[in-house]
Amino acid sequence: MIRVLEGQDFATPQDFVEALNKARLANRKQWIFYIGQVAGHEVQIKTFDIGDLQILRVDGRDFRNKEYGMNVGQWKAEIVERIELACR
C-alpha cells in the first residue's frame, strides 16, 4: 500500500479528487491510501485503482462504497458526493 498526497490538504472535494486521480494514475494496480484534510474535514481513503474503494471515511464516519468495478467517472463522483454529504 502506498500513501499518496502525504502532507497535502485540499480546499474542495473536487481539488482533492483531481489530485487523487493523478496519484492513482501514477500508482496503477496498487493500493493507495490518503489521510488528510479536505474542505476542513479529516478524510481517509484506501482504494485499489478505481475497482475497489475499500475505505472512505470523513470525520470518522464510514462512507464505504459496496460497488466494485466502477468506471473513473463513477469513482470520482462517489468520492466527491460522499465528502460533500459529510460536510453538510
- List the domain boundaries for the chain: 2-87
Mean pLDDT of the chain: 91
Residue 25 exposed, middle or buried by CB count within 10 Å (0-12, 13-18, 19+): exposed
pLDDT computed for residue 8 by the predictor = 97
pLDDT average, residue stretch 73-84: 91
Residue 66 has pLDDT above 80, yes or no: no
pTM value surpassing 0.75: yes
Mean of pLDDT values over 30-57? 92
Backbone angles phi, psi at 30, to 5 degrees: -140, 155
Dump the DSSP string for 32-46: EEEEEEETTEEEEEE
Give the pLDDT of residue 65: 64
Q: How confident is the model at residue 49 (pLDDT cuts 50, 70, 90)?
A: confident
Q: Is 53 exposed, middle or buried (0-12, 13-18, 19+ CB in 10 A)?
A: buried
